[in-house]
Structures are given as structure tokens and as C-alpha cells.
């Protein structure tokens, strides 16, 4: 192990980025006494919605492989082996969306996403990416400082594994959300359980019939039966009730203790969203949305800038570092996520954007048509500009040319 690796390892342990607390496989017990793991966390609607939103959105974005030449011109490298592997199908059993959705879900909950690499015989290309459950493997360094991955009866070296690390970025693994959020998730589980028991086992009638005198068992049975037959159920909603003999009806409402518990459930949703960095309105929790942008376009931009960008950048850099060979990098091959679909505006916004691009000459007609999934036209690859956009000193000459 080099001196630099020893220093990095020492600093990581000193600030707590490695070790059992940072990337433990099971989150363990919380202050509330509830056991927290991936299954119990996903049973919380807010956690499910946050993970589903983040993983599903990122998995649906196309991964594009680009080739940049010596002049800086960049084009999509569809002929490169990584394009079909990452964009279409990483392995024989999964589509790209299936694979990446599972990888990003593991990244959100456990701080790591790992896949086994199947290289060609000459090790010039990756043939398949096979997902590995983070809970099933262990990571350690050998005497030479190289990371070794072990699971079941398999042992892989660092060059044979794609490892995308979450927040924390330690070589052995990112920080587990389940581990650090276990107290908040455990409290939310305890509150949900208490609410279910309250409504499942507690006495929650809609109202009370108050009699001036004690009833005989027979009279009480008749009163209860008649109430059920005549006034209970949707068919009897709004039916007038006749009370006589000193009988009064008292409507029951939820008591302050129960109302406070229901309010705490709303607070726990905000806590869970805070751990994932997802604005609550993105998962349908709109109680306090005044602090967020009002337009849908601005909300999407906020989500893209502060929630998705850093996650996508981690994945891009991990793929470029661990999948591409030195020859690929020397040839100008890069891997990026295409955000055009996510940032796509409405018809009026796109029309104004394209008009500016075509008028000022920084896009061609065929480039615009490609963004709209339209076929190219003859002569559409030449940039155009309006003739009036010339320096004032050239105005007379332009008139002469026109004449």
C-alpha cells in the first residue's frame, strides 16, 4: 500500500467515512425500538416515493457515449461497444431501465451500487454488467492496496467490478442512508404502527346516543339494532333521525392527542424527504409548498440541479473510470446522461428556443428536427443567420450586395 493510500485511509477513518457506522449492511435498531432495514424503510410511503422518484427518473434518462476529436467536435459514438451496453441492455436478463433503476435504488438506500464486469478475452470491452446485492458482499484491501470484492464463492479484483459510491465517497463504500436515517425511519414506523393500532383496536364511534334513564338490556339491544339498520352505511347517509323520550345525539370529533399524532406523521414525511434531498411536493406532500417555485418548469430545474446532478455525475465518472480502457479515453470517449427529455419545455417554450437558435446560427434546421424526432431535410445542415445581424460599419456594403 502506498503512502498516499495509507493517508487517505487514515483520514477516512478519522472523520467516520468508513467502518460499521458508515456502511453497515443492516441499519439495526432505532431509538424507537423498531428494526430498520431496506424492507421496513420501503414500507414507509415517503421513503418508497422518494426512492421510486429518484431511481426511476435517473434510470429513464438515456446514457449517451460521445467521441470528441482533436478539434473539439463531439458526436454520439453509436459504434462504440459501451453505447449498446449502457443505453440498451447491460446483460442478457435486463433492459437498461431495469438495471439502472435497481442500481440507483441500492445507491439511495445503501449508499452503494455494485455490478460484476464480464470482460472480453482481450479485455478491450465489457460484455455484460451483472448486478450484485451490496448486502451480500464485503470489500477489503489486499497487501498491495487493491480493493477486493467477495460474495458467496466469488472473488473479484477492483478492475472487474463497477462500484458507484454514494455520499461520503470512501473507497470501501459510500455512506448508508439506512444507517444514518434509522432513527427517523424507526420513529416513522412506530408512529404508523401506533396510528394503525389506534384506529384498528380503539373505540372510534361517530357519535353517542345519550338517554336520561338506564336502559334494560333488551331496550339497549333494540336501540343499537335500529341505529345500524336505519342510519349506518352509505345508503342511509343524510337520512333524518327522530329522537324522543329525552334522547340526544352527541357528535364525536378527534381528540387533541390523536390530532397531534397525525400531525407528527406529516412531520415524519418531511424528515424522510430531507434525508433524500427530495422536495416534499415532488411526492405529493403539499402542506408547506410556499417556499418552492410555483411553475412546473422551475420545480423540475430545482430538482435537476440540487437532487439529480450530483447523483448522475457520480455515475458518469464511475463508468468512465472503471469501464473505459486507456485507449478509449485517449480516443476522446466520454459517457454522459442526456437531460434533454427531463428539461423539455412546452410547445411555446420550445418554439421560442428553436427560433433563437436558428436565427442566431448556433443550431441547424436538422439539429432542431432531430430534437423533435423528425427526419433531416436536404440543406438543413448549414447554420443560418439573419442578414440584418451585421456590424453597423458593414450595413452599406450589405445593401450594395443585395442590389
- Residues 170-229: tens digit of each pLDDT: 899 999 998 888 888 888 888 777 766 656 555 455 666 677 777 778 877 877 787 777
Does one domain contain both 316 and 213? no
Give residue 230's pLDDT band: very low, low, confident or very high (50, 70, 90). low
Say if residue 95 is in the same domain as residue 177: yes
CA 168 distance to own-chain centroid = 18
Please state, in angstroms and rounded to a whole number, the distance separating the CA atoms of residues 214 and 228: 20
Whether residues 127 and 247 share a domain: the answer is no
Q: Which residue has the higher pLDDT, 402 or 20?
A: 402
The answer as to whether 369 is a domain residue is: yes
The DSSP-derived string for 267-294 is HHHHHHHHHHT--GGGGT--TT-TTS-S
Query: What pLDDT digit, counting tens, does each position of 314-343 carry?
Result: 999 999 999 999 999 999 999 999 887 666
H or E element: which one contains 147? strand 147-151
Q: Are residues 183 and 54 in the same domain?
A: yes
Answer whether residue 232 is part of any domain: no
pTM of this prediction?
Answer: 0.71
Number of domains in the chain: 3
Q: Is the pLDDT of residue 86 over 50?
A: yes
| Phi, psi (degrees; rounded to nearest 5) at 127 | -90, -30
CA 105 – CA 174 distance, rounded (Å): 14
Q: Tell me which residue range forms the domain holding 212.
A: 205-224+242-253
Residues 84 and 214 in one domain: no
Mean pLDDT, residues 365-384:
84
**List of residues 6+ apart from 124 with CB closer than 8 A:** 325, 327
Q: Do 385 and 281 belong to one domain?
A: no
**Backbone phi, psi, residue 229, to 5°:** -75, -35
How far apart CA 259 and CA 149 sit, in angstroms, is 50
113 three-class SS: strand
Q: How far apart are CA 166 and CA 113, in angstroms?
A: 8
Q: Which residue has the cell 436565427?
A: 359
Same-domain status, 292 and 368: no
Position 280 confidence tier, pLDDT thresholds 50, 70, 90: confident
Amino acid at each position: 500500500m502506498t503512502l498516499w493510500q495509507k493517508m487517505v485511509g487514515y483520514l477516512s477513518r478519522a472523520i467516520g467515512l468508513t467502518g460499521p457506522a458508515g456502511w453497515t449492511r443492516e441499519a439495526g435498531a432505532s431509538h424507537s425500538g423498531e428494526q430498520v432495514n431496506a424492507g421496513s424503510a420501503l414500507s414507509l410511503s415517503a421513503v418508497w416515493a422518494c426512492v421510486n422518484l429518484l431511481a426511476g427518473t435517473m434510470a429513464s434518462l438515456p446514457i449517451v457515449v460521445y467521441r470528441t476529436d482533436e478539434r473539439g467536435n463531439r458526436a454520439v459514438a453509436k459504434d462504440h461497444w459501451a453505447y449498446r451496453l449502457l443505453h440498451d441492455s447491460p446483460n442478457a436478463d435486463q433492459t437498461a431501465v431495469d438495471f439502472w433503476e435497481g442500481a440507483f435504488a441500492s445507491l439511495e438506500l445503501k449508499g452503494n451500487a455494485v455490478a460484476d464486469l464480464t470482460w472480453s478475452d482481450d479485455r478491450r470491452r465489457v460484455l455484460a454488467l451483472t448486478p450484485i446485492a451490496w448486502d451480500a458482499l464485503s470489500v477489503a484491501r489486499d497487501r498491495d492496496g487493491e480493493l477486493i470484492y467477495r460474495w458467496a464463492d466469488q472473488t473479484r479484483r477492483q478492475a472487474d467490478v463497477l462500484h458507484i459510491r454514494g455520499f461520503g465517497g470512501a473507497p470501501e463504500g459510500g455512506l448508508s442512508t439506512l444507517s444514518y436515517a434509522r432513527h427517523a425511519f424507526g420513529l416513522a414506523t412506530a408512529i404508523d404502527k401506533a396510528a394503525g393500532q389506534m384506529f384498528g383496536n380503539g373505540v372510534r364511534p361517530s357519535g353517542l346516543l345519550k338517554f336520561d334513564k338506564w336502559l334494560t338490556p333488551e331496550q339497549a339491544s333494540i336501540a343499537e339494532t335500529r341505529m345500524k339498520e336505519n342510519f349506518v352505511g352509505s345508503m342511509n347517509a343524510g337520512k333524518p333521525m327522530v329522537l324522543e323520550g329525552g334522547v340526544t345525539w352527541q357528535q364525536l370529533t378527534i381528540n387533541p392527542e390523536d390530532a397531534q399524532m397525525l400531525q407528527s406523521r406529516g412531520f415524519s414525511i418531511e424528515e424522510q424527504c430531507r434525508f433524500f434531498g427530495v422536495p416534499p411536493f415532488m411526492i405529493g406532500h403539499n402542506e408547506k409548498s410556499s417556499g418552492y417555485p410555483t411553475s412546473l418548469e422551475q420545480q423540475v430545474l430545482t430538482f435537476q440541479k440540487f437532487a439529480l446532478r450530483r447523483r448522475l455525475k457520480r455515475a458518469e465518472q464511475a463508468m468512465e473510470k472503471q469501464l473505459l480502457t486507456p485507449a478509449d479515453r485517449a480516443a476522446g470517449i466520454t459517457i454522459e446522461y442526456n437531460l434533454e427529455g427531463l428539461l423539455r419545455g412546452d410547445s411555446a417554450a420550445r418554439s421560442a428556443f428553436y427560433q433563437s437558435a436558428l436565427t442566431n446560427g448556433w443550431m441547424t434546421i436538422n439539429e432542431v428536427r432531430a430534437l423533435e424526432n423528425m427526419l433531416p431535410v436536404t440543406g438543413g445542415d448549414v447554420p443560418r443567420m439573419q442578414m440584418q445581424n451585421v456590424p453597423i460599419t458593414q450595413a452599406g456594403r450589405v445593401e450594395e450586395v443585395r442590389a
